[in-house]
Structure formats: structure tokens, C-alpha cells
């Protein structure tokens, strides 16, 4: 393959990097070795995500040395999801590859990841980690929960991945939602595949993962499940819950009336139960109606986006 300043390439490697100054020169060199002989044209887009080390200067020199390298700088750290979005905005490829710069995954495995997509057999290809992994327990719990909740078939969702450009247009990359790109793409009908990818020990720097991400990840997982399950029809959740609570309140009210006027027995806590259930039922119904309005507006926005894409001949880069 030749690295030329073309206006279009086949594959864009999106690389979020935060304080990886020791790894960046070797990562660029390995990308040069791995992609130079690949049967496709490629570029590497590195997003300097608010690094506090000398990454900016190093990336500037590397971009001069390697013509396939492009650099995007964030003034402050914005996270992997925003870094992927920034990289995709300037990327020119039809296929994107999410790859970290910490050298735990080597660029030599990129051609194997993109091969099923370029061959037309898949839309998203995830890497299945091979080797020792310090956070294997947390990752295993996350993967099992995702397979159970979303019914995806791939075994490792929190690894490197390749995907068509269109996937990025369909997936809402909110903060930290890059972890759920595969499940959202699967729900939208994109075809999934996986390839084994060796995992290597980190050479320099420290991992950005810490225990504080675990509760955030659990909350995000619940949020993604809720939006995928009830996002388009929120009344299924709020309306059903409101109806059940209202029914409980109605039955409790009838019981309270029978006890009061049939047997002369007043039971104050039962009246409180009636009030609580009826009020909660009405509130949930209100949430359901508001949710339906928001869902309708979102569908209209999606229809407008599809119309704009159709008018621009389906090319999101126009």
C-alpha cells in the first residue's frame, strides 16, 4: 500500500490518546509497518485528548515523518467517546477502526479486523482478547450482562473494533457510550463478527481505568438497556407502571369504602395507600405522554437526517 495525500481512503484508524508520549513513536512506527503492505489504503487519526505531557510536540513531529498520520487536539480531556467523534469528523475512510495508543493491541492485527468488513461479510468486527488481563473479572461480568440483556452473539464487547462509517452515524456517542457501540449497532440491524486479538502488557504509562468507572458503567448499562427497550415506545414502561399503580389504588379505594360504610371500620393507612398509588399512577402516565412526545420528535429528526443523507447521495462526508 502507498501512503498518499488522497482525498479518500479505505480504512481510518481512530486512536484516542491521553498522556501516551512514550508509546506514540512506537505506535506510529508499527502502524507504518503493518499498514504499508496491507491490501487497502489507510490513515491513522490520533486524537490528543487533553494530554498534559509532551504528546502535542511529539505528534507534531510524527505527523511530519509519517504522511498517513493526522492529528486532532483537544484542549481538555473529553473522553474516548468525544475523541472518536472528533476523529470521525476528519476521517476519510469508509471503515473505522477503534484502536488505543497504549500498545496493548498491536497495529499488526488491524488487517484481520477489517477483512470481514471489506469482504462484505460484516458491518462490525470486535476483537476478542487473547492473553492475561488484569481486569478480566470486571470485563467478564460486563460482557455476560450485555449478552444477557441485549442478546448479542460476540463474546468480547470492550475491546478494539472495526466498523463501517455508517455505524458512527447511528450510534449516539454520549460520554462513555463507546462501550455500547456494538450492542446499539446490533439493535439497529448491523451484522456482527469477531476476531481473536492478542493482548500485550502495557509498556509505558498507566491505565486510565479505575474503580470509579465501575458504578458509572453499571448506570450507563441500565440507561442503554432502557433506551433500547423503551426509547421508541416509552408508554410501554411508564404507561404500564402507571396503570398498575392506578389499579392498585382503585382496588384499595373500593376496599376502604366497603370497610368504612359496610362495616363501620375506618383504616387510615389504607386511605394513604389509595392516595399514594393514584398519585404515582397519574405521574407515571404523565411521564409516558411526555416520553411519547420526545420519542416522536426524535423520529422526526431521524427522518430529516435520512432525507438529508439521501439528498446528498448517501455520503455523510458531503
Check residue 137 and give its pLDDT. Answer: 65
Of residues 280 and 234, more confidence is placed in 280
Check residue 1 and give its pLDDT. Answer: 40
DSSP class of residue 8 equals -
Give just the sign of the alpha carbon dihedral 209, 160, 174, 291: negative
Check residue 29 and give its pLDDT. Answer: 93
Check residue 114 and give its pLDDT. Answer: 93
Percentage of residues of the chain with pLDDT beyond 70: 82
C-alpha distance from residue 142 to each of 60, 146, 156, 196, 221 (Å)? 37, 6, 9, 18, 9
pLDDT beyond 70 at 4? no
pLDDT beyond 90 at 43? yes
Check residue 213 and give its pLDDT. Answer: 61
The partner residues of 9 in beta bridges, in order of sequence, read 93
Average pLDDT over residues 176-188: 79
pLDDT beyond 60 at 210? no
Cα gap 93→91, rounded to integer Å = 6
The closest alpha carbon to 84, from 188, 173, 156, belongs to 173
Q: Which three cell numbers stand for residue 96?
A: 473505522
Cβ neighbours for 279, distance < 8 A, ≥ 6 positions apart: none
Of residues 259 and 57, more confidence is placed in 57
Of residues 241 and 307, more confidence is placed in 241
The partner residues of 48 in beta bridges, in order of sequence, read 17, 73
- CB-CB neighbours of 181 under 10 Å: 24
Alpha-carbon Rg of the chain, whole angstroms? 25
Cβ neighbours for 253, distance < 8 A, ≥ 6 positions apart: 274, 278
Instruction: Determine the 3-state secondary structure of 111 from DSSP.
Output: helix
Contact assessment for residue 150 and residue 184, using Cβ atoms and an 8 Å cutoff: no
Instruction: Determine the 3-state secondary structure of 127 from DSSP.
Output: strand
Check residue 205 and give its pLDDT. Answer: 61
Q: What would you measure as the largest C-alpha separation in the chain, in angstroms?
A: 92
Contact assessment for residue 180 and residue 167, using Cβ atoms and an 8 Å cutoff: no
What confidence tens digit (pLDDT) does each residue in 54-110 have? 888 999 999 999 999 999 999 888 888 888 888 988 999 899 999 998 888 999 999
Chain centroid offset of residue 151 CA? 16
Amino acid at each position: 500500500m502507498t501512503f498518499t495525500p488522497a482525498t479518500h481512503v479505505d480504512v481510518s484508524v481512530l486512536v484516542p490518546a491521553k498522556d501516551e508520549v512514550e508509546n506514540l513513536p512506537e505506535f506510529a512506527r508499527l502502524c507504518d509497518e503493518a499498514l504499508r503492505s496491507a491490501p487497502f489504503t489507510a490513515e491513522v487519526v490520533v486524537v490528543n485528548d487533553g494530554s498534559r505531557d509532551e504528546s502535542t510536540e511529539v505528534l507534531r513531529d510524527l505527523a511530519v515523518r509519517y504522511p498517513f498520520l493526522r492529528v486532532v487536539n483537544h484542549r481538555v480531556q473529553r473522553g474516548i467517546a468525544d475523541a472518536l467523534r472528533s476523529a470521525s469528523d476528519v476521517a476519510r475512510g469508509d471503515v473505522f477502526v477503534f484502536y488505543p495508543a497504549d500498545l496493548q493491541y498491536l497495529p499488526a492485527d488491524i488487517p484481520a479486523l477489517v477483512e470481514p468488513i471489506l469482504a462484505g461479510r460484516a458491518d462490525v468486527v470486535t476483537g476478542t482478547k487473547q492473553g492475561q488481563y488484569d481486569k478480566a473479572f470486571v470485563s467478564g461480568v460486563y460482557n455476560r450482562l450485555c449478552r444477557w440483556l441485549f442478546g448479542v452473539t460476540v463474546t468480547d464487547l470492550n475491546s478494539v473494533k472495526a466498523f463501517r462509517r455508517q455505524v458512527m452515524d447511528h450510534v449516539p456517542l454520549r460520554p462513555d457510550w463507546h462501550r455500547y457501540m456494538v450492542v446499539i449497532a446490533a439493535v439497529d440491524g448491523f451484522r456482527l463478527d469477531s476476531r481473536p486479538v492478542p493482548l500485550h502488557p502495557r509498556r509505558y504509562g498507566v491505565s486510565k481505568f479505575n474503580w470509579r468507572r465501575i458504578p458509572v458503567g453499571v448506570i450507563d448499562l441500565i440507561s442503554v438497556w432502557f433506551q433500547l427497550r423503551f426509547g421508541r415506545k416509552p408508554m410501554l414502561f411508564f404507561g404500564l407502571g402507571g396503570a398498575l399503580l392506578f389499579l392498585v389504588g382503585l382496588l384499595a379505594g373500593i376496599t376502604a369504602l366497603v370497610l368504612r360504610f359496610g362495616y363501620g371500620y375506618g383504616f387510615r393507612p389504607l386511605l394513604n395507600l389509595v392516595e399514594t398509588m393514584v398519585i404515582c399512577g397519574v405521574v407515571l402516565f404523565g411521564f409516558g405522554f411526555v416520553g411519547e412526545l420526545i420519542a416522536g420528535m426524535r423520529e422526526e429528526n431521524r427522518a430529516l437526517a435520512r432525507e438529508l443523507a439521501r439528498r446528498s447521495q448517501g455520503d455523510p462526508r458531503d
